[in-house]
Amino acid sequence: MTAHDNRVQPAASKGEFRKCEQLWFEDGNIIIVAENLGFRVYCGLLASISSVFMDLFSLSQPEGHELVEGCPVVRVTDSEADMKPFLTVIYNGSSIWKFNSTLPHYWAYTRSILLMSHKYQCEALLEEGKRKLSELVPSDIRVRDRVRPRIESDDFISVANVARFLDMRAVHRRALYECCQLDTIILTTGWVDEDGFRDRLCAEDVQACLAGRVRLSQERIKVLLNRFKETPPTRCAHSKTNPLSKYSFLDPAIFARPDTRCITVRKELLSMSVELATQGISYDPLALDPIYQSLPYGFCEPCTKSFTQTNRKLRQDILDNLVELFELPRIRPPTPEVEPAEDLEVGEDSEGAGEDAGMDEGEGEVDGEGEEDAEEFEED
């Protein structure tokens, strides 16, 4: 992460700072200052969840060290925008870290906590953050269909970068899928957030997206052409003999013939899908198009169910196959022989929330986020 200084070190400069009202405990025993914002908190709690804090506090007690209101002051190089959500969640619990209207910049908040908990080695918080990161780009197409986007589409560049940094490969490629939907100029040059910081994909990811887009557009055509290609193997409620056949004595040509409604609808939808496939390029084969949405209005129930399943399977296969579509390397990350305690820039943590745990897809990915996603999203 070029945007994030991942080394923990005290900042040298001394100077005035503002008190963070929400995180200024009168009986706190340490003051952490990030940029110009001070947090008076409890040293023991931070040291108990983070060995990095423990080391930092032990380093910060030389004689003549800065004291404010009798508390030692530790100045860090992190931004106040990163430190505040991090400490807020540590001291107030993760119940406030939810996607809702009181947390308008959900991704910025989540990103800060993820990077800070990684940097300060707060394992439990990092795992919680990874779970929330997985929820932003679900692995199960049914969950994806059901949930509304929680973040701005431009933020997926940042999601991809953070997932790459944390070595969450499955999340990374699903975020790249979302990046493929961005305007080419944003995809290739990045996007500037409200603080003026430009978040951009690395060259390798831009290349993966540009090549991936071509394949995604081909996959979309395949989905459109294949989903109504065959009559469902299930029993069609309309294919039986017309129930009005008892009136065949009136007009056998009308009343005795089988009901072919589903066959007719299938042909119509197939021809509409062919038209849609030739109308323009789209890189979004996972999208639910209007033709698909009209399914329940034309077919009988068994046919609707069957075509829904076919459509879902075609799209789930794409979601499961992004490693091929993006031509991402299938290299298993090296297992470090020594714990990377000294070098905090090494992100070899195991993946959270049933992520692929450093294993590449096609080799038995355990991507069990779906069920958890479903529960989490239904709460909202």
Give residues in contact with Zn ion (CB under 5 A): 236, 238, 262, 300, 303
**Would you say 183 or 301 has its CB closer to Zn ion?**
301
Instruction: For the CB of residue 302, give the shortest distance to Zn ion in the complex, in Å.
Output: 6
Q: How far apart (Å, rounded) are the C-alpha atoms in residues 377 and 140?
A: 13
By beta-carbon proximity to Zn ion, the closer residue of 187 and 262 is 262
| Rounded to 5°, angle at Cα 208 from 203 and 214 | 135
Question: Is residue 125 within a helix (H) or strand (E), and if so which, with residue range?
Answer: helix 123-136
At its nearest, how many Å lie between Zn ion and the CB of residue 255?
19
Q: How many angstroms separate the CA atoms of 6 and 162, rounded?
A: 13
Nearer to Zn ion, 65 or 240 (CB): 240
Residues 6 or more apart in contact with residue 230 via CB below 8 angstroms: none
Cβ at position 292, least distance to Zn ion in Å: 16
Distance CA 109, CA 81 (A): 9
Closest by Cα among 323, 309, 326 to 365: 323
Nearer to Zn ion, 35 or 268 (CB): 268
**What is the C-alpha separation between 60 and 107, in angstroms, rounded?**
32
DSSP string, 15-36: ---EEEEEEE-TT--EEEEETT
Shortest distance in whole angstroms from residue 228 CB to Zn ion: 12
- Please, which residue, 262 or 318, has the CB nearer to Zn ion? 262
Which residues is 41 bridged to in the sheet? 30
Whole-number minimum distance, CB 271 to Zn ion, in Å?
18
Q: How far is the CB of 164 from Zn ion (least distance, A)?
A: 46
Q: Which residue has the tokens 């505040």?
A: 84
Among all chains, which residue has been given the structure tokens 């294919």?
239
CB closer to Zn ion, 302 vs 368: 302
